[in-house]
Structure 1
């Protein structure tokens, strides 16, 4: 049972780290770069990136992280590791609420609205569209990045608390 818990713990860390890294990359480079570009280019680029992110590589980290964290918590609890189970469950709850659900309820609707927007030919109008989108989107991305990092740290702590 311990091997299964450790194996699930490692998978949990990998998935939580992958989604944290994904969100973090948007914070520290992607959005800053788009903010520096011609807003018409930024809008088109964001539309393309949002359309391409729905893929089999992104799916496990985004959708399966809370599932695997929950399974890890359940296996740890069943295996008599109550303290680690708590930390994995906490990690799963944090990511579920402030990573996955936040994304589906805030960032995705914003992305869909941007996807439905025709890119304005006029740079002034395009700049306004981009500024309205980017600032709000980045705020919520920073929230999900921070909380995904917290979920990763909680899972790491759970792994560290596993006793032989």
Structure 2
């Protein structure tokens, strides 16, 4: 039974790690570039709307569940005496917890809340200043959490590969 649970959780670990990496990556390579190219007042309003809409039941499992599922998978792998896989799943869970979830909650969310508290100004120059003050640091920290999430996904892949080590050696 533990083997079935391990493979189920390994699959779920891969799906959640991939989902959250893809989510952050999309902001890096398209969303923010598009907003930077838009009218700054429109960019402010669009980002406010996106930040308000992301708090939903579809996003929550990947954002909040990834470290939990990875650490449960690590425990199952450890109980199955698959130490290499257990270490990789545990490292993936801790890396995402610190570099994805906690980073987002301590850096990106407060910046998003500050942006939510303002009204897009009528003045194009003022809107440009507000958007640049928001966008540049937000993108830096988003890139950092994207990198951490990418490492999480890579470690998850390695851990899944390591799960089958016992099968390949028999």
Which band: TM-score by shorter chain?
A: over 0.9
Structure 2 CA distance for aligned equivalents of residues 4 and 156 of structure 1: 17
Q: How many residues align structurally?
A: 164
Report the TM-score when normalising by structure 2: 0.95
- Structure 2 gaps, min length 5: none
- Could you say which residue in structure 1 is the equivalent of 2:59? 58
Structure 2: how far apart are the matches of 1:129 and 1:65?
33
Q: Deviations over 1:103-138 (max 9, x none)?
A: 000000000000001111000000000000000000
Structure 1 residue 45 displacement after superposition: 0.1
Where 1:87 maps in the other structure, the secondary structure is: helix
User: For 2:120 and 2:5, how far apart are their aligned partners in 1?
Assistant: 51
Q: TM-score normalized by structure 1?
A: 0.99
SS at match of 1:57: coil
Structure 1 residue ranges, 4+ long, deviating more than 3 angstroms after superposition: none
Q: 2:74 & 2:60 partners in 1: Cα distance?
A: 21
Q: Which residue is equivalent to 1:125?
A: 126
Partner of 2:117: 116
**Could you say what secondary structure the match of 1:161 adopts?**
helix
User: Residue 145 of structure 2 aligns with which residue?
Assistant: 144
SS at match of 1:133: helix
Q: For residues 12-57 of structure 1, give each alpha carbon's deviation from its aligned partner in whole angstroms, at most 9, with x where no partner exists.
A: 0000000000000000000000000000000000000000000000
Separation of aligned partners in 2, 1:5 and 1:159: 10
In structure 1, runs of 5+ residues without a counterpart are none
